[in-house]
């Protein structure tokens, strides 16, 4: 049986997937952390191919939920918040992840992309992992200068069928606006407009960046420079995971200093 990439969207009880053989020793249970547009989704696809662990993206979950027939009022307001670039409420996010908590004990491991995003969510995840008897291996914390992030976001195109991610210059499709994988139409995400990007960056600085310190203090954070090609960043990620077995690996710059520098640059580049 193959991995059912849509099982995560459907919730507990629907998953019929069987993890593939991992080419590396595993399973790996990882969080991908970093600002919007740093390349977490791109790396998740590549890490999935390298490690066999499933990408579990809360952003994809909300984008899929909006297509459901008759979404609940809570879900409607969550999707509206998402398009404005704001974070969805912790209560709703945690309840949607809790409904899918079975995916956390998958024997193929997992790549959490976009969750947790606040300290409250991280505390909730710790409890869910305890309940499932699963242990987090590491948090891959991706860092990139703000102007490069804005460039990645504004050139991003996403398949409206299979959700594959492209970039108009860095990762163009073979045929303009057509997905290489499924022939679907490539579209620009609603929240990749400049005003939404600005809101998302502020939400990241204020609510998500503190997680870098949260996981640093718990000895889980591996800081990965996100410059270069996706393949180079993948190599860096895999090397960091390899080094993970040696103690004292993370050399992160204090996050408060990085955040202040970012907020100073924000109005100049968006
Ligand atoms: P989500 O979907 O998680 O979006 P995000 O975190 O803002 O991240 P992105 O998907 O924008 O970027 P990415 O880092 O995955 O970059 P990508 O690989 O696409 O969340 C969306 C919204 O949902 C949130 O704003 C919020 O409202 C809500 N939400 C989700 N989870 C939530 C939670 N837990 N709590 C509350 N609210 C939540 O790459 C970007 C572009 O760069 C692409 O075009 C790609 O091709 C290109 N690229 C990638 N790598 C490279 C490279 N090395 N060189 C050149 N180009 C590259």
User: 17 pLDDT band (50/70/90 cuts)?
Assistant: low
Cα(41) to centroid(ligand 1), Å: 6
β partners of residue 221: 139
- Look at residue 22 in the predicted model and tell me its pLDDT: 52
Q: Which SS3 state, helix, strand or coil, does residue 166 take?
A: strand
Which tokens is 12 given? 């507990």
pLDDT band at 105 (very low <50, low <70, confident <90, very high): confident
pLDDT-derived band of residue 54, with 50, 70 and 90 as boundaries?
confident
Write the DSSP symbol of residue 102: G
Q: How many CA atoms lie within 13 A of 22 on its CB side?
A: 19
Q: What's the whole-number mean pLDDT along residues 158-167?
A: 88
Q: Which helix (H) or strand (E) element contains residue 138?
A: strand 138-143
40 is catalytic: yes
Task: Over range 37-66, report the average pLDDT.
Answer: 89
Query: Would you give the end-to-end CA distance of the chain in angstroms?
Result: 45
Whole-prediction pTM value?
Answer: 0.87
220 assigned to active site = no
- Edge-to-edge strand list for the sheet holding 28-33: 54-57, 109-113, 28-33, 138-143, 221-225
- Ligand 1 centre and the CA of 227: distance in Å? 16
Q: Are 55 and 154 in contact (CB under 8 A)?
A: no
**Is the pLDDT higher at 268 or at 128?**
128
pLDDT at 260 over 90: no
**Is 100 a residue whose pLDDT tops 50?**
yes
Per-residue model confidence (pLDDT) at position 200: 94
Token reading at 258: 């990085």
pLDDT of res. 175: 96
C-alpha of residue 215 to centroid of ligand 1, in Å: 20
**pLDDT for res 4:** 56
Instruction: Report residue 108's pLDDT band, with 50, 70 and 90 as the boundaries.
Output: confident
* CA 33 to centroid of ligand 1, rounded, Å: 10
241 has a pLDDT exceeding 60: yes
Q: Is 173 in the pocket of ligand 1 (CB under 6 A)?
A: no
Higher-scoring residue by pLDDT: 246, 90? 90
Answer yes or no: is the C-beta of 40 below 6 A from any ligand 1 atom: yes
Helix (H, G, I), strand (E, B) or coil at 28: strand
Among the atoms of ligand 1, which is closest to the Cα of residue 226? 53
Mean pLDDT of 243-258: 50
pLDDT at 201: 94
Q: Is residue 57 a contact partner of residue 41, using CB atoms and an 8 Å limit?
A: yes
| Ligand 1 neighbourhood includes 229 CB (under 6 angstroms) | yes
Query: Is there an atom of ligand 1 within 6 Å of 58 CB?
Result: yes
Contact call for residues 137 and 26 (beta carbons, < 8 A): no
158 lines ligand 1 (CB under 6 A): no
pLDDT at 8 over 90: no
Q: How far is the CA of 156 from the centre of ligand 1 (A)?
A: 10
Backbone angles phi, psi at 15, to 5 degrees: -65, 125
Q: Is residue 65 predicted with pLDDT exceeding 80?
A: no
pLDDT value at 238 more than 70: yes
Distance (Å, rounded) from C-alpha 234 to C-alpha 240? 10
CA 113 to ligand 1: nearest atom: 3
Q: Residue 57 CA: which ligand 1 atom is closest? A: 3
**Ligand 1 site, residue 199, Cβ cutoff 6 A:** no
Q: How far is CA 238 from CA 46, 139, 140, 200, 234, in A?
A: 10, 12, 10, 28, 6
Q: Give the chain's mean pLDDT.
A: 84
Average pLDDT over residues 41-47: 93
């Amino acid at each position: 049986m193959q991995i059912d990439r849509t099982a995560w969207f459907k919730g507990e009880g629907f998953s019929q997937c069987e993890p593939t053989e991992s080419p590396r020793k595993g399973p790996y249970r990882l969080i991908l952390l970093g600002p919007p547009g740093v390349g977490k989704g791109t790396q998740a696809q590549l890490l999935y191919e390298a490690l066999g662990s499933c990408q579990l993206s809360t952003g994809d979950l909300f984008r899929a939920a909006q297509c459901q027939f008759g979404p609940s009022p809570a879900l409607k307001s969550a999707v509206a918040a998402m398009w404005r670039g704001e974070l969805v409420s912790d209560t709703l996010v945690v309840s949607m992840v809790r409904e899918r908590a079975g995916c956390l004990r998958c024997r193929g491991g997992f790549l959490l992309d976009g969750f947790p995003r606040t300290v409250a969510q991280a505390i909730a995840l710790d409890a869910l992992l305890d309940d499932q008897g699963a242990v987090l291996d590491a948090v891959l914390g991706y860092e990139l200068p703000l102007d490069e992030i804005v460039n990645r976001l504004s050139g991003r195109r996403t398949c409206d069928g299979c959700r594959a991610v492209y970039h108009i210059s860095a990762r163009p499709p073979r045929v303009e606006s057509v997905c290489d994988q499924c022939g679907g139409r490539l579209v620009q995400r609603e929240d990749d407009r400049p005003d939404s990007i600005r809101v998302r960056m502020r939400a990241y600085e204020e609510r998500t960046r503190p997680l870098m310190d949260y996981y640093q203090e718990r000895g889980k954070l591996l800081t990965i420079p996100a410059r270069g090609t996706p393949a180079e960043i993948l190599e860096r990620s895999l090397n960091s995971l390899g080094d993970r077995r040696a103690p004292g690996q993370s050399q992160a710059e204090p996050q408060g200093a990085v955040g202040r520098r970012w907020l100073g640059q924000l109005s100049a580049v968006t």
